[in-house]
Structure formats: structure tokens, C-alpha cells
Amino acid sequence: MAPPKASVSVAIIGGGIGGLALANRLRNTGVYVTVYERDPDDGSRAQGYQLGIQKDGFEALMKAVPDLDVDAIFDTKFGISSFTITDPELYPLLNIGIPRPEGRKQMPGTVNRVALRQALAENLRRDSKGDGRFAGILYGKKFKSFAKIDGGEKVVAYFEDASDTGPVDVLVGADGARSLIRASLFPEIEYKQLPVLNIGASVALDDLPSFRKPGSRLAAVMTPRNTASLVRAVDRIGSSILLLPWQDRATGRDSMVWAVTLAVGHSEQRMLKQANTGVEKNDLGRVLHDLCRERARDAAYAAEIQEAIACATPEQLVFTASLDSVHCHSIQLPKNLKLTPTRVVLLGDAAHATTTHAGLGANTALQDAIDLAEKIIAVGHKGDVRQLPLAMAEYHKAMFKRGAKVIGMSTGNTGMITSSGWRATVRDVFLKVVFVFVKIWRGVKSLFSGY
């Protein structure tokens, strides 16, 4: 690539997947970029078990880091080849294949979020000591505020330790769902708690006696024919359970993540509020674990699912520090969001955080990163940094359009998997009808595959 005609300086607030992918894409392009991360290091905070990367996200990741060692950080043993929705007894209502990247027989599977962050950050650590030249990363930088200077031609961000970024051409808010930059830039965008809980844990498969027995329905659905399927079991009383196989590299054990998603009624709200204000530190975890076990029993989930939930301990539940942390949240974007030329932009969850029920959060952030990088690189090669505000407005327009679609899809799925009563009945019938057509299509495709 030819060198740019003008240098562009970029400060990225937030060292999550999206921010790090952006910095990696800008490496060696002549752009001066530094990532500022609030955590003391890239593995200091609990971030869940696994991260699902779909086709579009994987391709964006490869554009950001073409030399990424996929096999070293992805769970290639349990490459995900399909998505299955079942009834509580694990009988399939729908099974569909997952699109895969060019040249791969299957998606490489899930990835540990910390492992991916560390791999992306390692390139930046090699390139620079965080001095703002080309690609560096600084930890322990808690964002405080930003200001436009030099008549709006530059931006500077300030941190709680009294340091700052210095003047930059573009400030990127990749600071997560509760973004302070978003609050300043777009105060009309709301991030709201939804009346839905997500409660999950991981258990080793060899700790589940039923899974090891011949004829295990869970094994047949989740790990069919030496492949792996992402499974969502749905009931008709307002809840569902996600089942995902993965290999825990820390222990070397084949494991399964389970996550109960349930709509919260008045009785659950009262019980959780009492537990959240209890004097015992583990009260909330214990109550949440009991709630999951009771819901699985009341909805008549398969004995294997109930066994997996019971196998976990309250201490193993993820994100149970507070009641708010186990609630689903989503950004609500105004219909007519005013987008103007700017040098301050948002990326990933800072712009469109939503529920996990479409599995698109990280994928969308990775696509944001590539789109934004290409806009910045293009301006640098044209040689006129005065065009940056217009280019950033164009990026915002495309990014928010994509984000709105993802929010709608994710919250729609949240409603679908927590349906109850007649809505759940209609949902199940619809899924069965779709599955019939999927089977017919597979049969026709197989019939003519030899021609």
C-alpha cells in the first residue's frame, strides 16, 4: 500500500474487541493510533465464558488481523455448524446450518473473549510502547471527558489520572454499553434494562453422567455426528435455555455453557429484590441458581438439562455481582437521530449495545471497526484531513443503520424465546413449519448435488 499523503491521528477509548480490531486494521497504514483502556490489563475483569463469532464477524476479524492464529485461540474442537431450537425435552423444532467463511468447512467455533483481547493487544504491544505512534495501547486509563480544540480541527480526551490523549484528528468511543462518550455525544440515546434475566454457568461434560450414556438426547442434539450445534430449548411459560459445547482450555476439559433466559414477573422481582439486599454475599447467586432449577423443573425440561443446571454451584454463575448485571439491557435508538460532520465517533456496544439473543454483538463491532478504519485510511490517502468530519458522518450513518437492524433482531429474538401461552404455541408451530421446508430444501439439494 502506498504511504498516505497526510498523517491522521486517532485515539480509541476502550480496549474491547471492536477498539482493538480497529487499531490492528490501522497498523502499518501510516495512521497514528493509541488505544486507552480503563482496566489495568487485558485479563483483569470477568467477561463471560465464550464469544460467538459468525461469518461476517470472522471475515472482518481476518481483515483486521490477517495473520491471526485462529487455531490457537478459537475452540476448533467444537466448530459450530448449526443452530438448533428444541422443545423442553430436546426434540428439534428447527435446525439450520450456519454460514461459514470462504475456505472453511465450518465456523472455527467460539472464542474466549479474554484470549481474543490478548491476541489483538499483543500486536499493539509489539508495535509501540503506547506513545501514540502507529499502534500502541495504554492501560489504567479511565475516561473522564473530551473537548474540541483548535477551532474544532482537533479533539483531546482527558482521563481521571489527569493525563490526556493530546490533540488528535479522530476520537473513537469504544467504551462499551454505558459509554460516557455516547452520553455526551448523543444524550437522546437510552440504554434500558429489560424485564428479562440471563443466568448462566459452565459445567464439564464428564461431570454429567447422563451425557456419557448411550442414547443421550443432549449429546445427539448438541454434538451430532462429530460436529457441534448451538442449542436453544424453549418452553411455553416464558423462558428458554441455551446450551453450547466448548473446550475449557484452562482445564483441558470438554464443557458446556448453559444459560437460562426468563421473563421476570412480579413474584420473581420481589424475590430477587429481597436477595439483592440480603446481608449474605452469596444470597443473590443462591437465589438465582434456585430460580433456574425451579424454572427447569416447572417447564418440564429434559432430565439432562436439569442435571446440568444442578451440577453448577451458585459461585459458578457468571455476572451475579448485582441484580442489574443479570438483567438484559438494550440501547433504544431514536428514529430520527441527527448525524452531523464530527471528529468524535462511536463503535460497537457504545453505539448499539443490545441483548445477546442474536449473537451479533461482537460481530457487529468488528464490522464497525473495519468500516471506520477504511474511512480513516481513505482520507489519509487523499491527503486532506479536513474531510474527516464528513467521512465520519458517513460512517455513523452506515453504522447506526446496521446497529438498528441488530437491535431489532436481538430484542425480537429475546421476545420470541421468552414467549408464553398462545404466543409460544404459535411460535412452536411456526418453527415446525419452517423446519419442514428446510428438510425439503435439503432433500432437493442432496438429490441434485451429483449433477
Give the Cβ contact number of residue 166 at 10 Å: 12
For the whole prediction, is pTM greater than 0.85? Answer: yes
Separation between Cα atoms, residue 231 and residue 242, nearest integer Å: 6
Tally of CA atoms within 13 A in the half-sphere of 251 that contains its CB: 11
- Residue 88 in contact with residue 300, Cβ under 8 Å? yes
At 329, is the secondary structure helix, strand, or coil?
strand
Whether CATH 3.90.1150.10 fits 9-74+110-189+333-416: no
CATH of 194-328, one of 3.30.70, 3.30.160, 3.10.450, 3.30.9: 3.30.9
pLDDT in tens, the chain (451 residues): 566 666 899 999 999 999 999 999 998 788 899 999 999 877 666 556 678 888 889 899 999 999 888 877 776 677 788 899 999 999 999 999 877 666 555 555 678 788 888 889 888 877 655 555 556 889 999 999 999 999 889 999 999 999 999 999 999 999 999 999 999 999 999 999 999 999 999 999 999 999 989 999 999 999 988 788 999 999 999 999 999 998 887 788 999 999 999 998 766 766 676 666 654 545 788 889 999 999 999 999 999 999 999 999 998 898 777 788 889 999 999 988 999 999 999 999 999 999 999 888 999 999 999 999 999 999 988 888 899 999 999 999 999 999 999 999 999 999 999 999 999 999 999 999 999 999 998 888 777 765 5
Q: Which residues pair with 9 in a beta bridge?
A: 32
Cβ neighbours around 433 below 10 Å, total: 12
Q: Tell me the torsion sign for CA atoms 371, 354, 124, 383.
A: positive
pLDDT at residue number 247: 84
Residues of the chain within CATH 3.30.9 domain(s) are: 194-328
Of 332, 326, 325, 372, the closest CA to residue 352 belongs to 332
Q: In the prediction, which pLDDT does 51 show? A: 80
